[in-house]
């Protein structure tokens, strides 16, 4: 191996003091940014309206993803288009009843909220309930159906009373 000669950089092309000043400024900026508080992941929650939070609480549970931020974006877009909140709520009520009647609550066949409130306007669908109501078979299915209908167990209520109230809500 041969030793390379050092590269000569004329002083006019390379001002060391200027370069050192730039590096020092960058280091100060990096150190200053390290001490700034980081934005927490949960800070988006404050961006949601109370009306949307109410819709979100009532939306049928599903297995798999259901991104709240995307649903919020879809709801905001519909409201900006002039769709009344009452129309979104009425559509959700029909869908909740449909999901419960079909025994879909908690499953993968429950639509993501972003799609339901999205550009295809699934909330406008009739969501007709088959007269032959499919009754849940397991306790888990009954609980998921009750949750999708907004039926909660009452203090002192036994299982049979709870099931009766869920059945009434299914009609």
Q: Cβ(53)–Cβ(72) under 8 Å?
A: no
pLDDT band at 159 (very low <50, low <70, confident <90, very high): confident
Contacts of 52 (CB under 8 A, 6+ apart): 71, 72, 75, 76
What does the alpha-carbon distance between residue 108 and residue 70 come to, in Å, rounded to a whole number?
Answer: 18
Q: Is the pLDDT of residue 79 over 70?
A: yes
104 or 10, which is more confident = 104
Give the predicted TM-score (pTM) of the model: 0.54
Tokens of 121: 């306007």
Instruction: Work out the mean pLDDT of the chain and round it to a whole number.
Output: 81
For 34-134, list the strands marked E by DSSP: none
Pick the closest to residue 96 from 144, 141, 140, 64 (CA basis): 144
For 87-140, what is each residue's pLDDT tens digit? Answer: 999 999 999 988 888 888 888 899 999 999 999 999 999 988 766 656 777 888
What does the alpha-carbon distance between residue 100 and residue 104 come to, in Å, rounded to a whole number?
Answer: 6
Helix (H, G, I), strand (E, B) or coil at 30: helix
CA quadruple 26, 30, 36, 42: dihedral positive or negative? positive
Q: Cβ(51)–Cβ(80) under 8 Å?
A: no
- How distant, in Å, are the alpha carbons of 14, 17, 25, 64, 118 from that of 21? 13, 6, 6, 53, 53
The pLDDT of residue 46 is 57
């Amino acid at each position: 191996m041969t030793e390379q000669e050092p590269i000569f950089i004329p002083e006019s092309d390379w001002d060391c003091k200027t370069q050192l000043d730039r590096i020092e400024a960058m280091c100060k900026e990096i150190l200053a940014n390290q001490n700034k508080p980081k934005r927490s992941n949960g800070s988006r929650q404050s961006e949601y309206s109370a009306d949307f939070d109410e819709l979100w609480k009532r939306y049928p549970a599903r297995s798999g993803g259901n991104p709240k931020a995307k649903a919020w974006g879809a709801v905001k877009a519909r409201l900006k288009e002039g769709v009344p909140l009452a129309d979104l709520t009425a559509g959700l009520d029909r869908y909740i009843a449909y999901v419960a009647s079909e025994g879909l609550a908690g499953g993968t066949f429950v639509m993501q909220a972003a799609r339901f409130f999205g550009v295809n306007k699934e909330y406008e669908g009739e969501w007709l309930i088959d007269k032959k109501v499919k009754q849940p078979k397991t306790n888990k299915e009954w609980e998921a159906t009750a949750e999708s209908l907004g039926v909660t167990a009452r203090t002192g209520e036994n299982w049979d009373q709870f099931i009766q109230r869920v059945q009434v809500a299914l009609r």
